[in-house]
Amino acid sequence: MSPDRVRAVSLSSDRLDVALWGDESAPVIIAHVHGNEQVALHAAAQVVGRRPVRLVGLAPQPRRRQRIRVAGRLFDFDPNRMWTLAGRAATLACLGGDAQPTEREQAAALADLADYAERAWHLLGAGQRPIVAAHNNADGLLPVDALLGEPATLASCRIPHLPTDDFLYVCHPPAYERLTALPFAHAVLRDDTRAPDDGSLSVRCAHEGVPYINVECHPARGDRNRDLLLAAVDALLPR
């Protein structure tokens, strides 16, 4: 599952590597943001070659939160909470030592994180291509029922015989219509105007008007994860 190439993103005093698979000009991007979610990465890698996609891995290190060093201080952050100003402020944390970072150190770290987020956004198509995000799920971790009562849920399609953690979270009405015309998985359509700003990639896509689908991959489902991703990509490919 080695990437086709690795691009180094240099910051003020550190660098972060981004793993890339597939054609740079592909019409759909698959984003993998959490390094500990290897099930999702494995499933996404199986889509490369089967569909015209570019897979972008923002977290080569096998941990959920990534790290940057700024002015000698070590900080960490959730790569799926760095996409907006509010998200960066909430997720950035200083590691090690008893002393809290100074305002200048915190500001420098936030500036580096903003720089990284913008360059990562460019690698994800800079708002010009739809995005499928591949995430891990597990029994009881995030069931589709938990989303049905959310204020931002605009519509849903629930299939009785399927496990509740097997679903697609869709932020693009035309794609939702395609996915629910021949029900393949639970699907939830989000009202982007009511989604809270948690700094997630889905919120950045909403702000930029980028079609987005989140796919939940389960460690026990193998080819099913790949097929969910294929369905999501197909729903976003140009007609």
Residue 23's region, left for phi above 0, alpha for psi from -120 to 50, else beta, is: beta
* DSSP secondary structure letters along the chain: ---SEEEEEE-SS-EEEEEEEE-TT-SEEEEE--TT-HHHHHHHHHHBTTBSEEEEES--SSSSSEEEEETTEEEEE-TTS-SSHHHHHHH-EEESSSSPPPHHHHHHHHHHHHHHHHHHHHHTTTTSS-EEEEEE--TTTS-THHHHT-TTEEEEE--TTS-TT-EEEE--HHHHHHHHHTT-SEEEEE-GGG------HHHHHHHHT--EEEEEE-TT-THHHHHHHHHHHHHHS--
The predicted pLDDT at position 161 comes to: 84
The predicted pLDDT at position 180 comes to: 93
Tens-place pLDDT, residues 17-67: 999 999 999 999 999 999 999 999 999 999 999 999 999 999 877 889 999
User: In a structure prediction context, what are the per-residue pLDDT tens digits for the chain, which is 239 residues long?
Assistant: 789 999 999 998 899 999 999 999 999 999 999 999 999 999 999 999 999 999 999 987 788 999 999 988 999 999 999 999 999 999 999 997 667 899 999 999 999 999 999 999 999 999 999 999 999 986 555 677 777 878 888 999 888 888 877 889 999 999 999 999 977 888 999 999 999 999 999 999 999 999 999 999 988 788 999 999 999 999 999 98
The predicted pLDDT at position 138 comes to: 66
Q: How far is CA 95 from the centre of its chain?
A: 24
Cα–Cα dist 160/71, whole Å: 54
The predicted pLDDT at position 141 comes to: 56
CA nearest neighbour of 134 among 230, 50, 51 = 230
Listed in sequence order, the residues at least 6 apart from 161 whose beta carbon sits closer than 8 Å to its beta carbon are: none
Cα–Cα dist 229/41, whole Å: 11
